[in-house]
Amino acid sequence: MHRVLTTCCFCACGCNLYLEVDDGKLVGVIPSREHPVSRGNLCIKGWNSFEFVLHKDRLRFPLIRKNGRLEKAQWSEALDLTAAKLTQIKDKYGPDALGILSSAKCTNEENYLLMKFARAVLKTNNVDHCARLCHSSSVIGLNHAFGSGAMTNSITELAGAELILVTGSNTTEQHPQIARFIFDALERGAKLIVIDPRRIQLSRFAHVYLQPRLGTDVIWLKGMMKIIFEEKLYDDSFIRMRTENFDAFSKDLENFDLEYVEKVCGIPLEGLRRAARLYASVKRAMIIYSMGITQHISGTDNVESIANLAMLTGHVEQEFTGVGPLRGQNNVQGACDMGALPGTLSGYQDVADNDVRKKFKNLWKTELPASPGLTSIEMFDGKRIHGMFIMGENPAMSHPDINKIRAVLKEMEFLVVSDIFLTETAEYADVVLPAASFAEKDGTFTSTERRIQRVRMAIPPVGSSRPDWQIVCELSKRMNYPMEYDSPAEIMEEIALLTPIYGGVFYNRLEDEWGLFWPCPDKEHPGTPFLHKGSFARGKGHFECIDYRPPAELPDSEYPFYLTTGRMYQHWLTGSMSMRIITLVREMPEGIVEINPADAKSLGVESGEPVRVISRRGTVKVKAHITDDVPKKSVFMPFHFKETPANILTSTAFDPRAKIPEFKVCAVRIEKVQ
Partner 1 sequence: MEDRLILSKEHLKSFLRKISKRHELIAPVKNSSGDTLLEAIPSLDEVTLDLKSKPVMPAKNFFLPRSEVLFKYQRKGKQYSFDEVLDDTPRILFGLRSCDLWGILFLDMIFQENFKDRYYLNRRINTVLINIGCNEPMENCFCRSTKSGPFLTHGYDLQLTDLGDKFFVEIGRPRGRELVEEWNYFFSPATKKDREHQYEMILEAESRFHQIVDMNTAISRFMNDEIDERIWDELGNRCQNCGGCAYVCPTCYCFNIVDMPLSENAGERKRIHDSCTFTGFTRLAGGYNPRHEKKRRIRRRFYHKLYYENKKHRRPSCVGCGRCVEICFGRVDMINFIKMVCERGERSLRESSLRLGEILIEAGLLNREELKNALERQASTGESLGTQLIKEGLITREGVARALGYQLKIPENAGTGGSDGK
Q: Could you list the residues that contact partner 1 (CB under 8 A)? A: 1-3, 5, 16, 18, 20, 27-35, 39-44, 47, 50-51, 56, 172, 176-177, 179-180, 183, 187, 201, 204-205, 511-512, 514, 569, 582-583, 586-588, 592, 607-608, 623, 625, 627, 629
Strand 344-345 relative to strand 349-350, pairing: antiparallel
Cα separation, 83 vs 64, in Å, equals 13
CA count, 13 A, side-chain hemisphere, 576:
23
**Which is nearest to 603 in space by CA: 552, 674, 654, 503?**
674
Partner in contact with 84, chosen from partner 1, ligand SF4, none, beta carbon below 5 to 8 Å by kind? none
Full DSSP string of 342-393: SSEEGGGEETT-HHHHHHHHHHHTS----S----TTGGGSSSS--EEEEES-
CA 646 to chain centre: 18
Of the chain, the end-to-end C-alpha distance in Å amounts to: 55
The residue (of 340 and 584) whose beta carbon lies closer to ligand SF4 is 584
**Residue 13 is a binding residue for ligand SF4 (CB under 6 A):** yes
Partner in contact with 15, chosen from ligand SF4, partner 1, none, beta carbon below 5 to 8 Å by kind? ligand SF4
What is the closest distance, in whole angstroms, from the C-beta atom of residue 571 to partner 1 in the complex? Answer: 12
Partner in contact with 607, chosen from ligand SF4, partner 1, none, beta carbon below 5 to 8 Å by kind? partner 1
3-class SS at 256?
A: coil
CA 221 to chain centre: 23
The answer to whether the bond into 519 is cis (omega within 30° of 0) is: yes
What is the closest distance, in whole angstroms, from the C-beta atom of residue 179 to partner 1 in the complex? Answer: 7
Partner in contact with 10, chosen from ligand SF4, partner 1, none, beta carbon below 5 to 8 Å by kind? ligand SF4
**Residue 10 is a binding residue for ligand SF4 (CB under 6 A):** yes
Partner in contact with 187, chosen from ligand SF4, partner 1, none, beta carbon below 5 to 8 Å by kind? partner 1
> What is the total count of residues that contact ligand SF4 (CB under 6 A)?
12
What is the closest distance, in whole angstroms, from the C-beta atom of residue 453 to partner 1 in the complex? Answer: 11
The residue (of 28 and 266) whose beta carbon lies closer to partner 1 is 28
Of 159-178, binders to ligand SF4 (CB under 6 A) are: 176-177
Residue type, 5: L
What is the closest distance, in whole angstroms, from the C-beta atom of residue 77 to partner 1 in the complex? Answer: 24
The residue (of 39 and 361) whose beta carbon lies closer to partner 1 is 39
Partner in contact with 180, chosen from partner 1, ligand SF4, none, beta carbon below 5 to 8 Å by kind? partner 1
Q: Which of 32, 35, 36, 46 binds ligand SF4 (CB under 6 A)?
A: 46
Cα separation, 613 vs 649, in Å, equals 8
Cα separation, 413 vs 585, in Å, equals 36
What is the closest distance, in whole angstroms, from the C-beta atom of residue 566 to partner 1 in the complex? Answer: 15
Cα separation, 668 vs 555, in Å, equals 7
Which residue has its beta carbon closest to ligand SF4? Answer: 46
**Which is nearest to 41 in space by CA: 30, 49, 52, 50?**
30
Cα separation, 122 vs 368, in Å, equals 9
The residue (of 250 and 448) whose beta carbon lies closer to partner 1 is 448
What is the closest distance, in whole angstroms, from the C-beta atom of residue 608 to partner 1 in the complex? Answer: 6
Q: Which of 21, 26, 43, 239 binds ligand SF4 (CB under 6 A)?
A: 43
Q: Give the torsion through C-alpha atoms of 533, 502, 100, 64, to 10 deg.
A: -140
CA 385 to chain centre: 24
What is the closest distance, in whole angstroms, from the C-beta atom of residue 16 to ligand SF4 in the complex? Answer: 9
Partner in contact with 379, chosen from partner 1, ligand SF4, none, beta carbon below 5 to 8 Å by kind? none
Q: Give the torsion through C-alpha atoms of 147, 148, 151, 152, to 10 deg.
A: -40
Cα separation, 594 vs 186, in Å, equals 29
**Residue 106 is a binding residue for ligand SF4 (CB under 6 A):** no
**Which is nearest to 197 in space by CA: 226, 220, 225?**
220
Which one of the spans 12-20, 256-264, 312-320, 506-514 is the region binding ligand SF4 (CB under 6 A)?
12-20
**Residue 8 is a binding residue for ligand SF4 (CB under 6 A):** yes
Partner in contact with 392, chosen from ligand SF4, partner 1, none, beta carbon below 5 to 8 Å by kind? none
Task: Go through 512-521 and write b for each residue having 16 or more CB atoms within 10 A of its CB, e for each that does not.
Answer: eebbbbbbbb
What is the closest distance, in whole angstroms, from the C-beta atom of residue 176 to ligand SF4 in the complex? Answer: 5
Partner in contact with 129, chosen from ligand SF4, partner 1, none, beta carbon below 5 to 8 Å by kind? none
The residue (of 11 and 483) whose beta carbon lies closer to partner 1 is 11
Give, in order, the Cα–Cα distances in Å from 344 to each of 116, 347, 357, 367, 579. Answer: 12, 8, 10, 16, 34
Partner in contact with 28, chosen from partner 1, ligand SF4, none, beta carbon below 5 to 8 Å by kind? partner 1
Please calculate the CA angle 6-438-29 and round it to the nearest 5 degrees.
Answer: 50
What is the closest distance, in whole angstroms, from the C-beta atom of residue 416 to ligand SF4 in the complex? Answer: 29
**Residue 636 is a binding residue for ligand SF4 (CB under 6 A):** no
What is the closest distance, in whole angstroms, from the C-beta atom of residue 352 to partner 1 in the complex? Answer: 43
Residues 455 and 81 sit within 8 Å (Cβ to Cβ): no
What is the closest distance, in whole angstroms, from the C-beta atom of residue 10 to ligand SF4 in the complex? Answer: 3
Beta strands in 197-259 (DSSP E): 208-210, 243-244
What is the closest distance, in whole angstroms, from the C-beta atom of residue 45 to ligand SF4 in the complex? Answer: 4
- Interface residues with ligand SF4 (CB under 6 A) are 8, 10-11, 13-15, 42-43, 45-46, 176-177
